[in-house]
């Protein structure tokens, strides 16, 4: 039984067991705190030379809906049974007795149950000085069926889409000092084809990889504080909760774990998305974000984007100026992430105006390390820094360097379009303000030094553009 207890401890430090919660409390945990809900507890029982393991079910918020563009989405996965077989002293291999049972849920809409033609589950649990665990679940020929009943023989209407040829879900946990863990997880979709999340078109991709990693997280403490907060805050009107020492203490425990040094990245190959009016393609698209140096005083956030082979398949008059390649990296220093998340987690405490005030008073800095857009007829290059400043007239101050290649051709195209007269006038003024330059490959370009002055002036190559903009634009 001692070995079973050690196995359970390793698993608990990876995914904490749950506690019974009222529906309102469970919803607060998932939707407001963005913490996965564990349903049930880990169970580890001897079975011959190995062990039978029952994992808790999980309910997690996948997306809040991107500002209303899509429906907020929750993933629910039922309890599963595993077997741990000894490989050598202190090392066990993991296999699954049950097929994975998961569904996607939307508020007020029919759930979609994930169904796979075949499944393979492998993994390990390692005891010792640095205990760890890993699991890989491979699902082949995945489709979705409508409904919530686990019985597939009735109550489900099969959908033709989406279809995923191969879905791989992986995760690892490795112990570090102080009872904390380094966690990684990934979801790999290969051969995706189906309707878009908005339901107004189709989407397909050769391969999508979503990876996350968090360093130095105490899963047990995070889960316990989140559960306590959900029980305390669900149904509360939010009056002066930010001043409650007990609530603040729980928030501190949660935040010190929830956003430890972390990263996430999504890489897409062979993407094609279409609506009734347009079709967009990308040979590759990589988007990544990382958070580091996170504490009460601020955090550093780094975001990057790389896209190649971008195209819109219904060419317009301006097709030559639609970017075919894009790279960008933006860093944010001294972001008041702790205070922002605290406000979002408390009922009745959060508003966009509060967020704007926090960012202004923090004097957070946006560093544009580099933005480069390339189109057949031109290019854009941008770098510089802007800092929030409560003493500045415009709330910020900074300097940027911009180079536009091919702007002369775009101006001519706009001037020839009767419906683009205002855009042509604005871009003509920008063209005139630019300093004539030549790129290394001999193309004509315009350079701009942009200064946002604390006094409220916006200078482009020394000219105050606010004084130059016509009032009818």
Q: Answer with the residue of higher pLDDT: 295 or 108.
A: 295
> Using CA atoms, how far apart are residues 338 and 330, in angstroms rounded to an integer?
20
**pLDDT grade for 159, boundaries at 50, 70 and 90:** very low
**Which residues span the domain enclosing 331?**
295-473
> Using CA atoms, how far apart are residues 260 and 292, in angstroms rounded to an integer?
7
Is 275 a domain residue? Answer: no
Give me the mean pLDDT over the 209-234 stretch: 93
pLDDT at 320 over 90: no
Is 129 a domain residue? Answer: no
Is 199 a domain residue? Answer: no
Question: How many other β-carbons are positioned within 10 Å of the β-carbon of residue 333?
Answer: 18
Write down the residue that tokens 């190995």 correspond to: 50
CA distances from 39 to 26, 78, 438 (A): 10, 8, 63
Sign, CA torsion 437/441/444/447: negative
Q: What is the share, in percent, of the chain residues with pLDDT greater than 90? A: 58
Is 408 a domain residue? Answer: yes
State residue 314's pLDDT score. 72
Looking at the structure of the chain, the number of domains it has is 1
The reply to whether the predicted model has a pTM over 0.85 is: yes
Mean pLDDT, the chain, integer? 87
Is 250 a domain residue? Answer: no
58-66 long-range contacts (CB < 8 A, ≥24 apart) are 58/15, 59/26, 59/30, 60/30, 60/36, 61/30, 61/31, 61/34, 61/36, 62/104
**pLDDT grade for 239, boundaries at 50, 70 and 90:** low
pLDDT at 234 over 90: no
Question: How many other β-carbons are positioned within 10 Å of the β-carbon of residue 215?
Answer: 16
Is 457 a domain residue? Answer: yes
Q: Of all helices (H) and strands (E), which one includes residue 50?
A: strand 50-55
> Using CA atoms, how far apart are residues 404 and 428, in angstroms rounded to an integer?
13
Closest by CA to 172, choosing from 201, 207, 213, is: 213
Is 160 a domain residue? Answer: no
State residue 375's pLDDT score. 94
Residue 137, token pair as written in the block: 């679940």
Closest by CA to 77, choosing from 220, 228, 157, 187, is: 187
Contact 387, 397 (CB under 8 A): yes
Q: Answer with the residue of higher pLDDT: 448 or 153.
A: 448
Give me the mean pLDDT over the 349-359 stretch: 82
Is 423 a domain residue? Answer: yes
């Amino acid at each position: 039984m001692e070995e079973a207890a050690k196995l359970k401890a390793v698993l608990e430090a990876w995914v904490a067991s749950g506690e019974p919660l009222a529906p309102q409390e469970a919803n607060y945990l998932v939707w407001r705190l963005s913490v996965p809900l564990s349903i049930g507890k880990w169970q580890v029982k001897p079975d011959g030379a190995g062990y039978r393991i029952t994992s808790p079910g999980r309910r997690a918020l996948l997306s809040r809906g991107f500002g209303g563009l899509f429906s907020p989405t929750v993933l629910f996965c039922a309890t599963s049974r595993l077997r741990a077989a000894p490989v050598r002293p202190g090392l066990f291999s993991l296999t699954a007795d049950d097929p994975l049972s998961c569904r996607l849920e939307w508020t007020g809409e029919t759930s979609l149950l994930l169904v796979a033609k075949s499944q393979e589950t492998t993994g390990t649990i390692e005891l010792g000085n640095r205990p760890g665990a890993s699991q890989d679940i491979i699902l082949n020929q995945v489709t979705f069926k409508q409904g919530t009943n686990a019985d597939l023989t009735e109550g489900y209407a099969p959908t033709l889409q989406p279809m995923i040829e191969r879905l791989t879900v992986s995760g690892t946990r490795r112990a570090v000092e102080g009872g904390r863990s380094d966690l990684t997880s990934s979801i790999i979709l290969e051969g995706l084809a189906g309707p878009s999340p908005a339901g107004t078109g189709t989407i397909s991709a050769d391969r999508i990889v979503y990876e996350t990693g968090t360093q130095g997280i105490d899963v047990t403490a995070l889960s316990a504080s989140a559960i306590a907060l959900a029980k305390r805050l669900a149904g509360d009107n939010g009056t002066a909760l930010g001043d409650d020492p007990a609530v603040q203490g729980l928030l501190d425990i949660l935040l010190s774990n929830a956003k430890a040094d972390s990263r996430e990245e999504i890489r897409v190959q062979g993407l094609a998305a279409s609506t009734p009016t347009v079709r967009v393609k990308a040979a590759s698209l990589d988007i990544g974000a990382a958070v580091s140096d996170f504490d009460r005083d601020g955090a550093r956030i780094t975001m990057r984007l790389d896209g190649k082979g971008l195209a819109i398949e219904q060419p317009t008059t301006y097709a030559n100026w639609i970017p075919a390649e894009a790279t960008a990296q933006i860093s944010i220093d001294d972001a008041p992430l702790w205070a922002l998340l605290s406000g979002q987690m408390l009922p009745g405490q959060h508003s966009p105006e509060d967020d704007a005030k926090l960012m202004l008073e923090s004097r957070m800095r946006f560093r544009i390390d580099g933005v480069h857009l390339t189109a057949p007829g031109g290019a854009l290059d941008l770098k510089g820094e802007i800092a929030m400043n409560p003493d500045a007239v415009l709330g910020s101050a900074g300097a940027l360097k911009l180079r536009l290649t091919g702007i002369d051709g775009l101006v001519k195209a706009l001037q020839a379009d009767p419906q683009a007269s205002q855009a042509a006038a604005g871009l003509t003024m920008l063209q005139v303000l630019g300093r004539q330059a030549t790129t290394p490959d001999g193309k004509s370009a315009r350079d701009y030094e942009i200064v946002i002055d604390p006094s409220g002036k916006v200078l482009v190559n020394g000219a105050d553009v606010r004084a130059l903009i016509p009032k009818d634009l």
